[in-house]
Amino acid sequence: MPELAAAREELGLPEDADPTPVVSDPGDGYDPGTPEGDLLDAAILSVPSVRIYAQTFAATPLLRALDGAAITAAAADIAGSPTAAAAIQTSQSFDDLAGELAGDGYERDGDAISNPDEPISDIVDAGDGVWVMGGEDADPGPQELVDPPPGGPQGLSELLRTSD
């Protein structure tokens, strides 16, 4: 699981280096072998909206709303679909994310935000800065991973908690 905060430090990047750059030209903003390129590679492996962007170069509303500099860790099933469930740990507030996504058709219901028309359709606040997200095809889905056992704390959100 990429520890993005540790990766920033190891790569000699500032604590607020953003691993989620959105660029209009696919060649801009990515230079393999540089610290910034290595940080982006780590994010591609673990942050679903970045994986989708790397494949399509289309910036989804979620990618635009995420404060990449606030993401400290992420875990995903990289063998699965780019929309498979994943978890991120962030200092960005869930209220901030919900507000940013409200204008893009996402609807909030308590600790969950959803928009069935987006590739990453469901985002659930698991607490303590951990968000679990995934698409309609995610199995188990984000809510299942956050809910009490059997799908809960030992799910993806637990992977992030044990990295502290």
Question: Of 36, 32, 28, nearest to 7 (Cα)?
Answer: 36
State residue 138's pLDDT score. 72
State residue 164's pLDDT score. 46
Asked, as a colleague might, if the bond just before 61 is cis with ω within 30 of 0, I would say no
State residue 51's pLDDT score. 67
Calculate the CA 23 to chain-centre distance.
18
3-state secondary structure of 110: coil
State residue 153's pLDDT score. 47
Secondary structure (DSSP) of 7-22: HHHHTT--TT--S---
State residue 149's pLDDT score. 59
Question: 20 vs 16, 29, 47, CA distance in Å?
Answer: 11, 10, 9
**Structure token pair of residue 18:** 């953003």
- Which residues in the chain come in under a pLDDT of 70? 1-2, 21-32, 45-46, 48-49, 51-58, 77-82, 140, 148-164
Neighbour count for residue 97 (Cβ, 10 Å): 21
* pTM for this prediction: 0.72
Kindly give, in sequence order, each residue whose CB lies less than 8 Å from that of residue 14, ignoring residues fewer than 6 positions away. 8
Euclidean distance between CA atoms 155 and 148, whole angstroms? 10
Burial group, residue 33, by CB count within 10 angstroms (0-12, 13-18, 19+): exposed
